[in-house]
């Protein structure tokens, strides 16, 4: 199963991004395919935060449009939502210790732990910080 990081979701949603077409096509291929693919809940939250922020975009995405985009992804019959379970703490703790994560990397560790906990085969991300989590295979679909 492939999971998507926030940056891929943002690039796929904002036409002014240099990687928009590649990201949009990559996300569409997953969403329209029959193989399971995953969205970690923290990435959905962060997507909503980023695309609607006037600090990030001169013309931010209206919240209603951002919510409609999430609705469209969640309508994919093959999407799997990744959330914390009772085992999350032990996985998160291990990931943090292995990567020596601190500060802003704790958020990435949370996503890595969710992916590992749910058997994700690879995380698609343009964020090289995820390479600090050796148990997780990270692929940047924008440079393929």
**Alpha helix locations (H) across 52-131?**
63-74, 88-99, 105-117
Segment 112-125, tens digit of pLDDT: 999 999 999 999 99
Look at residue 89 in the predicted model and tell me its pLDDT: 94
Segment 71-97, tens digit of pLDDT: 999 999 999 999 999 989 999 999 999
pLDDT at residue 144 tops 90: no
Span 9-22, average pLDDT = 96
Look at residue 80 in the predicted model and tell me its pLDDT: 97
**In which band, very low, low, confident or very high, does the pLDDT at 6 lie, cut at 50, 70 and 90?**
very high
Our measurement of the distance from residue 77's CA atom to the centroid of its chain's CA atoms, rounded to an integer in Å, reads: 18
Tell me which residue of 29, 26, 25, 23 sits closest to 51, measured CA to CA.
23
Tell me what percent of the residues of the chain surpass a pLDDT of 90.
97
Task: State the chain's mean pLDDT as an integer.
Answer: 96
Tokens of 7: 């940056």
Model pTM score: 0.94
Tell me what percent of the residues of the chain surpass a pLDDT of 70.
99
User: At 71, phi and psi to the nearest 5?
Assistant: -55, -40
Q: What is the dihedral of CA 68, 4, 108, 6, to 10 degrees?
A: -40
CA distances in angstroms from 103 to 46, 90, 91, 124, 129, listed in the order given:
17, 19, 18, 22, 12
For helices 6-13 and 63-74, angle between their N-to-C axes, nearest 10 degrees: 110
């Amino acid at each position: 199963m492939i999971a998507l990081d926030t940056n891929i979701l943002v690039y796929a949603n904002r036409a002014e991004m240099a990687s928009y077409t590649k990201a949009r096509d990559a996300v569409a291929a997953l969403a329209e395919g029959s193989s399971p693919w995953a969205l970690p809940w923290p990435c959905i939250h962060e997507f909503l935060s980023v695309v609607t922020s006037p600090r990030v975009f001169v013309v931010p995405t209206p919240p209603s449009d951002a919510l409609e985009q999430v609705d469209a992804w969640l309508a994919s019959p093959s999407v799997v939502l990744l959330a914390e379970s009772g085992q999350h703490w032990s996985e998160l703790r291990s990931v943090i210790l292995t990567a020596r994560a601190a500060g802003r990397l704790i958020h990435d560790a949370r996503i890595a732990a969710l992916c590992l906990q749910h058997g994700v085969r690879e995380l698609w991300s343009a964020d090289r910080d995820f390479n600090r989590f050796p148990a997780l295979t990270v692929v940047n679909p924008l440079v393929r």
